Amino acid sequence: MADATMTLSADTASGAPGAVDLRAQYVESGVKEVLDELDRELIGLKPVKQRIRETAALLLVERARRSLGLAHETPTLHMSFSGNPGTGKTTVALRMANLLHRLGYIRKGHLVSVTRDDLVGQYIGHTAPKTKEILKKAMGGVLFIDEAYYLHRQENERDYGQEAIEILLQVMENQRDDLVVILAGYGDRMDKFFESNPGFRSRIAHHIDFPDYSSDELLRIAETMLARQNYNFDEPGRTIMADYIEHRRRQPHFANARSIRNALDRARLRHANRLFEASNGPTDSTALSTITAEDIRGSRVFARSTGKEKVP
């Protein structure tokens, strides 16, 4: 919600009869703090951040209308996050829970993250208590269901996922003032899931697509991840990391920021081993904190790119 494009600015003067200073509420409610934090934490994802800003604008306006006695209806807040792994869906869900709590749309502001295994039982009579227990934990907050399309496996006649779906749909409709459900997963699979489960589609008001990161964004993410642990690249290390990203993106099972985190973990292992083997005296903080080209180039990604190793 940058000031230049602020959708919530009001022409009314603060304190005027029957008026609300939306800009002041934007700051005082903590919404600005949440959105600023989202901008700092997540690189890229401009369309996602814009949708979150628009949702915040709607909720602030609805709260203002309520405070002035105008006709209002609590917006449907259930959401669908579609995108590849490692694109920030869980992080955005956490920030959304915080935002909804600050605006008074949920009581607690916590997030409960689950998958099919947390909801669906293995035998008759097992699914309902599992699903209801999770819903009990999530009440007053946000329930985040990752890979939601696995809830029901139609190819398995003895699958109990449909029972969990029916319970979820009932709660999403009847207790929507006390629970927000966010379904997440791959875009194409989520589309098929909604086609086969129209009850979910009718209850989901906000469908947000999470794009893959660009190579430049992934390099910035890598630098940010290192900085949080008091590491950094030297210049050759940064150059080879950019090369690594280009190679890795073309290979199977790439998971955006998640793959970058894994690559940095392995680079730190190689870095530590390199320092240990070369150590014959004191090691300064610069050496202990600098990831070099050697630490990155040792990745199997480069062997695969030259055809020396088959990609699994």
pLDDT over 90 for what percent of the chain? 66
Q: What digits encode the pLDDT tens for the residues 203-221?
A: 998 999 999 999 999 999 9
Angstrom distance (rounded) from CA 100 to CA 34: 10
Task: Tell whether the model's pLDDT for residue 47 goes beyond 90.
Answer: yes
| pLDDT at residue number 158 | 74
Q: In degrees rounded to 5, what are phi and psi of residue 143?
A: -105, 120
Residue 305, pLDDT score: 58
Q: Which residues contact 276 (CB under 8 A, 6 or more apart)?
A: none
Query: What is residue 310's predicted lDDT score, i.e. its pLDDT?
Result: 42
pLDDT band at 292 (very low <50, low <70, confident <90, very high): very high
Burial per residue of 222-241, b for 16 or more beta-carbon CB atoms within 10 angstroms, e otherwise = bbebbeeeebebeeebbebb
Is 224 within 8 Å of 213 (Cβ atoms)? no
End-to-end, the C-alpha distance of the chain in Å comes to: 44
Per-residue pLDDT band for 70 (boundaries 50, 70, 90) equals confident
What's the average model confidence in pLDDT over 290-306? 87
- How far is 133 from 111, CA to CA, in rounded Å? 15
11-15, 104-108, 258-262, range with the lowest pLDDT: 11-15
Confidence category of residue 279, pLDDT binned at 50, 70, 90: confident
Q: Give residue 157's pLDDT band: very low, low, confident or very high (50, 70, 90).
A: low
Angle between helices 31-41 and 46-67 (to 10 degrees): 170
Question: Closest by alpha carbon to 66, among 208, 177, 175?
Answer: 177
Residue 74 has pLDDT above 90, yes or no: no
pLDDT above 60: residue 125 = yes
Per DSSP, 74 falls in state: P
Instruction: Among 11-15, 53-57, 196-200, 227-231, name the one with the lowest average pLDDT.
Output: 11-15
Rounded to an integer, what distance in angstroms lies between the CA atom of residue 31 and that of residue 59? 10
**What mean pLDDT do residues 114-143 have?**
94
H helical segments located in 68-139: 89-102, 116-119, 127-138
Which of these, 81, 110, 77, lies nearest to 94 by C-alpha position? 110
pTM, two decimal places: 0.84
Q: Which domains does the chain have, with CATH numbers?
A: 3-210 (3.40.50.300), 215-305 (1.10.8.60)
Is the model's pLDDT at 311 over the cut of 60?
no
CA distances (Å), origin 59, targets 16, 64, 109, 216 = 22, 9, 15, 34
CA distance 52 to 17: 30
Flag whether pLDDT at 263 surpasses 90. Answer: yes
What is the pLDDT of the chain when averaged over all its residues?
A: 88
Contact by Cβ (8 Å): 198, 162: no
Q: Which amino acid is at 94?
A: L
